[in-house]
Amino acid sequence: MTSPNTSTCFFAQAMESFERAATLMQLHPRVRLELQEPDCEHAFYLTVDMEDRLLPLGDAEARAYAALPVSSFPAFKNVECLGDASLVLPPQALRQANVHMKDGHLRLEDGKVYRWQPGAPRRFRAWRVQHNQARGPYKGGLRFHPEANLDVFKALAAEMTWKTAIADVPFGGGKGGVEVDPNMLSRKELEALAMRYVYVAKSFLGPEFDIPAPDVGTDASIMAVMLRQYSDGEPFRHLQRGFITGKDTRIGGSEGRTQATGLGVVYCIEDFYAEKSDSIQGKRFIVQGFGNVGTYAAECLHKLGGRLLAVGDVGGYIFHPEGIDVPRLLEFMRNHPKGRMATVVDFTQARPISKEDFWKVEADILVTAALGGEITKEVAQALKVKLVAEGANGSSTPEGDSVLFGRGIELIPDIVANAGGVITSYYEWVQNRNMEFWTEEEVCRRLEKTLKRNYRIVRDIARNTPQKGEIHDSRKLCVGQSTDMRCAAMVLALRRIEAHYLLEGFSQ
Ligand code: NAD
């Protein structure tokens, strides 16, 4: 199941820093070739039965059914409303129903006219890209997204190879998913799709071979049904838990996973200041993106004495010159009115500002925790911060990077800063293998040490200062000249991957 090479823009862009680092460190030519393309690109189709739906008609169309009496569905409870405002009609809704139909249309108690669309099987495109396994099983998330495609998964799978190597966990890189808008599927359909994915891909997945995790559009509950599909019927079912990570802690997930990425960003920032005999106490910070990564990073920075001056999400940006009350903002976001998307702009104890003004806020630290490609050349020129910590993947563009470098704005790149998630996924896998359960304190202690050790090595490579420190050793990793942090991180990844090929040789 291998599709032709369709590399286009994302993958080519993602490989830019790979090529730069490979040239700088004179990566072994065969290793370079091995890493330039994935080991394997699986492309396949998934078919799933869709449930019946009621599709709302527009006012003009509905006029033709003005005389339709209201149908009643007493058993139609907890109605699932999808992204296009259609309603999922489960078969049990028809129990005791009193239905009046005309040409397949009916009126519900909300007064609206709906067209009944009978369920039918539907086909979806799916992929799993396995980039490299020199250091261990392929590892990477599963994304359910309407714009999912092979090019994106190739880029993300390669990124996982670098990230697992920098994090120094014994995994390779993989990524995959399905071209689907999860907001347009019922819960039952989504679960069926997830299970079908595992059914089709089972022969090339597994706790010792390729280990998925949540990504955009999937979550712990999807991981749970995928685990069931994978392990049901297996003779040693309990030994298969490590097939997937990002699970609920009640079924083998790791304590500390939810906050790990945000926390990891803060460990790196803490170390950035510790090196200068300074601390986060009193530092002003701004955060773009206030979801999982942004909220935990902000909460932790606040606890360490930092002051949040501005924050933004998809709804807009807010600012307070004296500092935003982080605990109150978190409470506000967690208790937002149901049925409405939470956004920081509705928090009235700070004033709204434009995105342009957000970038110009004078502060010590910017934490990115939204989307990629936000720090363009123009944004990098406008920034008034001293440190950028990339919680989000690929926040800064190559042009943005060179402006940051030129202006002396320090950068903790994504593959170093946001590796907390994948490191904790490794801890989850280890706990599953050994049938152990670690406390949150234990997870955080290990995470802090791992992140700080690798961050220090990357810093030494960037400055070309080989040394053995208290928790790190960069003596065999520097390349004889200084470079930027992103390239240095890639050098570390490639050195660690290359060691496997050089020491083990190439099988024939
Ligand atoms: P999330 O969905 O929980 O939060 C994303 C946040 O970004 C939300 O606040 C959203 O409103 C905001 N946002 C979205 N579009 C925006 C826009 N155009 N402008 C401003 N804000 C916008 O996601 P997350 O898990 O917190 O991930 C954030 C970033 O971190 C992503 O780039 C993700 O790939 C990366 N990341 C996450 C993890 C993890 O463990 N969650 C691990 C590694 C990397």
Provide the 10 A C-beta neighbour count for residue 83: 10
pLDDT confidence band for 235 (50 / 70 / 90) = confident
99 in ligand 1 pocket by Cβ < 6 Å?
no
Whether 77 is catalytic: no
Measure the N-to-C terminal CA separation of the chain; round to a whole number of Å.
23
- The pair of structure tokens assigned to 504 is 């083990």
Ligand 1 atom nearest 293 alpha carbon: 26
The per-residue pLDDT for range 380-417, each reduced to its tens digit, is 999 999 999 999 988 998 899 999 999 999 999 999 99
Q: Share the mean pLDDT of the chain.
A: 94
The per-residue pLDDT for range 347-370, each reduced to its tens digit, is 999 999 999 999 999 999 999 999
Residue ID of nearest Cα to ligand 1 atom 17: 314
pLDDT confidence band for 8 (50 / 70 / 90) = low
Q: What count of Cα atoms within 13 Å lies in the side-chain half-sphere of residue 423? A: 30
Strand residues in 320-474 grouped as ranges (E): 351-353, 365-368, 387-390, 410-412
Q: Which residues, in sequence order, are CB contacts of 445 under 8 Å at separation 6+?
A: none
287-294 mean pLDDT: 94
Ligand 1 atom nearest 295 alpha carbon: 26
Q: Which residues, in sequence order, are CB contacts of 413 under 8 Å at separation 6+?
A: 390, 458, 485, 486, 489
Evaluate whether 325 touches 299 at the Cβ level (below 8 Å): no
Length of the chain: 508
**Which region among 17-21, 91-95, 251-255, 279-283 has the lowest average model confidence (pLDDT)?**
91-95
> Could you tell me where the DSSP H helices lie in 171-318?
187-201, 220-231, 257-274, 292-303
Tell me what pLDDT residue 338 has: 53
> What's the gap in Å between 329 CA and the centre of ligand 1?
17
The per-residue pLDDT for range 272-288, each reduced to its tens digit, is 999 999 999 999 999 99
Residue 200 and residue 3: Cα distance in Å, rounded?
16
293 in ligand 1 pocket by Cβ < 6 Å?
yes
Tell me what pLDDT residue 2 has: 36
> What's the gap in Å between 234 CA and the centre of ligand 1?
36
Tell me what pLDDT residue 454 has: 97
392 in ligand 1 pocket by Cβ < 6 Å?
yes
**If DSSP codes are grouped into helix, strand and coil, which group holds residue 273?**
helix
pLDDT above 90: residue 92: no
pLDDT above 60: residue 329: yes
Residue ID of nearest Cα to ligand 1 atom 25: 292
Catalytic, out of 139, 154, 175, 283? 175
Q: What is the C-alpha R_g of the chain?
A: 25
pLDDT above 60: residue 263: yes
> What's the gap in Å between 218 CA and the centre of ligand 1?
14
308-322 mean pLDDT: 96
pLDDT confidence band for 6 (50 / 70 / 90) = very low
Q: Which residue has the tokens 């998934």?
A: 46
> What's the gap in Å between 121 CA and the centre of ligand 1?
33
Which of 356, 371, 374 to mutate for ligand 1's pocket (most ligand atoms within 8 Å of CB)?
371
**If DSSP codes are grouped into helix, strand and coil, which group holds residue 467?**
coil
249-263 mean pLDDT: 95
pLDDT above 80: residue 336: no
Tell me what pLDDT residue 372 has: 85
pLDDT confidence band for 507 (50 / 70 / 90) = confident
Q: Give me the percent of the chain exceeding a pLDDT of 70.
A: 97
The per-residue pLDDT for range 142-198, each reduced to its tens digit, is 999 999 999 999 999 999 999 999 999 999 999 999 999 999 999 999 999 999 999
281-290 as b/e, with b when 16 or more CB fall inside 10 Å?
Answer: eebbbbbbbb
291 in ligand 1 pocket by Cβ < 6 Å?
yes
**Which region among 237-251, 261-275, 326-340 has the lowest average model confidence (pLDDT)?**
326-340
Indicate left, alpha or beta for 243 from its phi (over 0: left) and psi (-120 to 50: alpha). alpha
Q: Which residue has the tokens 């990566």?
A: 27
- The pair of structure tokens assigned to 343 is 């956004």
59-88 mean pLDDT: 91
Question: Rounded to two decimals, what is the model's pTM?
Answer: 0.91
Which of 166, 261, 356 to mutate for ligand 1's pocket (most ligand atoms within 8 Å of CB)?
261
137 in ligand 1 pocket by Cβ < 6 Å?
no
418 in ligand 1 pocket by Cβ < 6 Å?
yes
Provide the 10 A C-beta neighbour count for residue 449: 13
Ligand 1 atom nearest 260 alpha carbon: 40
Residue 275 and residue 277: Cα distance in Å, rounded?
5
Tell me what pLDDT residue 238 has: 87
Q: Which residues, in sequence order, are CB contacts of 486 under 8 Å at separation 6+?
A: 17, 401, 411, 413, 415
218-222 mean pLDDT: 93
pLDDT above 70: residue 340: no
> What's the gap in Å between 371 CA and the centre of ligand 1?
6
Ligand 1 atom nearest 290 alpha carbon: 9
369 in ligand 1 pocket by Cβ < 6 Å?
yes
